Structures are given as C-alpha cells and as structure tokens.
Amino acid sequence: MLLRCLAVASLCLSATFVEAAVPVLVIHGGAGVIKSEMTPDKEKQVRADLEAALKAGNDVLKSGGSSLDAVTKAILVLEDSPQFNAGRGAVFTHEGKNELDSAIMDGATLRAGAIAGVHRVKNPVLLARAVMEKSPHVFLVGDGAEAFAKTVGIELVEPKYFRTEQRWQQLQEALKAERKQQASALGRMIHYGTVGAVALDQAGHLAAATSTGGMTNKRWNRVGDSPVIGAGTYANTRCAVSATGWGEYYIRAVAAHDICARVEYANKPIAQAAKDVVMDVVPKLGGDGGVIALDSDGNFATPFNTDGMYRGWIDRDGKMHVAILGDEGRP
C-alpha cells in the first residue's frame, strides 16, 4: 500500500511540474497587398489595427487563456476594422451585397465550426465558434446559419453596417472592367483579403481561425477556402494554419491540411512545409496568396507569393512585430 501511495504521489508531483508552453500568436489581414495603393494614412491605420489585434489575442495568452479564445479575440478586432476584407470591411458581391464566411478549429480536439454566406452577422467568427460549441454540426450556410445565430444570441446587424465607400468603389471598378470585357485582367487584383489567426497557448494547444468577405464581384453565392476546414483553416495537435489568397486554388490543394500533413507525417519543419505549399503547390495550379502557420513548438512561418501580406506576430520572447510588404520583418 505504501509503495502504491508513493507511486501515485510521484505521478502527481511529475504532473505538477510539467513545463508550460511559451505562447505564440500570429495573425494576417490578407495577402495581395498592392504597393502602389498603400498610402501613408492607410498604412498607419492598418498597422495600428494589426497591433490592436495582436494585443487582444496576446492578453488572453498571457493570462493563461486558451488558444481558441486568443484567435477569437484577435479576429474580432480585425472584423471590426474597415481596413480588412472581413466583417465591417467586407467586399461586395456582383449584386451589391456582402456575404461573410468564417471558420475556427481547435487543434487539441479537432472540433471545428464554419459558416458561409451570411449577410447580417456582425462578427462571423463568433458564429463559427458557436457552431462548433453549441450545435451538432460543423458547417452552416446562409439563412440557416443566421437562424441558428438568433438561437444562440449572436449579434445581427442591418446589411448597411458592412457598407464602406472603399469597398463600394472597388465593386464599381470591377463592374466597369467587366463591361469592357477586361474582367480577366482585373481578376488577379480583386480576390484577395481575409483575416486569420493561429495561436499556441500555455497548455501547448493550437487553434486557428479565419474570416472573410470573399471576392469582389463574386456571383452565385460563391464560397472560397476560408470556411472550408482543411483548405483555408486547419489545426491539429502539431500544426495550425490560416490561409489567404485565391480560394479556389487553396480548396483544390487542400492547402491548410497539406501543410499540417507534411509536418505530421513527413516531419518537415513548419517553415518548409508552408513554403512548399504556398510557393510550389498552389502556384502550379494557377493560384497565389499566403498563409500563417504555427507548430506545437512555437515555430511559425508567414510565406506569401504576392506583393505583400498584412501580418503580425508575438514571438516566444513576447515581442510584437507587424509587417506589410515584401521581406519586411520576416519570417
């Protein structure tokens, strides 16, 4: 009996002194940044909002909160900003409406929630999380998703909340080009956007979340990769990924899951796995964009193959970094 008690005590003591993971948070505000369109005022606001999102998520992690709560808090800040193609700053469809998509995934349990094609949900990431936590489903769309939102107390707003002059003018330019049969030339400039976050908490758990307004001038209730688990959003015990770019190609490549599979099954470093998919797999299909990817050891990467990608991170030293163009502040 004494030996058994000692053994149990030893196990408990060992569990008590398990070293906590050092939290890491990485966010993005969309790839495809056009340098010529980046005015000083716009850059200042984008950087301020990225920093605010990092602070919101990091405050959760510093207090011992979960990676799920951290990515949710970070995304909320980005959804409330008109600078990003998500929530308040969502782009317009061909019909002049806003259609919002989002997904979230808990790497520790593989639970996930996603929504697409909603018009009145103020913060789509909250509805995606509610689908994960308060429904038996993973993916809800359109009117059904909004009906569910009402049952769980998610805030709905009038569609005019999402109207910003910048996004409206982008739609007018796209329609004008379409009328001149120049849509193909413009297409590579209007499919970018999306916000995302990945986090590692003190318990060593990973999470990922993504939110988007989709593609300017999209038709027929098109849905991109952001809410598709494994394409634009994915997390497991080893890896978490949020993508941004030309969604059709990220879906075809199952890009987010592919990165994590390379980490888990091929033992590739997260930076190499992310680079292989973003710089090789997706471009070979004809697409472009970027990702943020984080592993369970706190290593992360932010590869992209466009002019730039709004991005930021708080590393294991607790330092905040924000970057927009080219190789600025990489990783």
The C-alpha atoms of residue 71 and residue 209 are separated, in whole angstroms, by: 6
Would you tell me how many other CB atoms lie within 10 Å of the CB of residue 326?
A: 14
The C-alpha atoms of residue 102 and residue 133 are separated, in whole angstroms, by: 15
User: Cα–chain-centroid distance for residue 45?
Assistant: 20
User: Cα–chain-centroid distance for residue 290?
Assistant: 11
DSSP 73: H
The C-alpha atoms of residue 111 and residue 296 are separated, in whole angstroms, by: 17
194 carries an active-site annotation: yes
Q: Residue 104 half-sphere exposure, CB side, CA atoms within 13 Å? A: 24
Terminal-to-terminal C-alpha distance of the chain:
55
Structure-block tokens of residue 83: 């600078």
Sequential DSSP letters for 109-166: TTEEEEEEEESSBS-HHHHHHHHHHHSS-SEEEHHHHHHHHHHTT--B--GGGG--HH
Please identify which of the residues 72, 194, 233, 244 carries the catalytic annotation.
194
Helix, strand, coil percentages (3-state) for the chain, rounded to 5, are 40, 25, 35
The C-alpha atoms of residue 321 and residue 205 are separated, in whole angstroms, by: 22
In this structure, are residues 299 and 269 in contact, taking their beta carbons and an 8 Å threshold? yes
Coil, strand, or helix at residue 28? strand
* CA neighbor of 170 nearest in space, from 213, 215, 216, 212: 216
Would you tell me how many other CB atoms lie within 10 Å of the CB of residue 196?
A: 35
User: Which residues form the catalytic set?
Assistant: 194
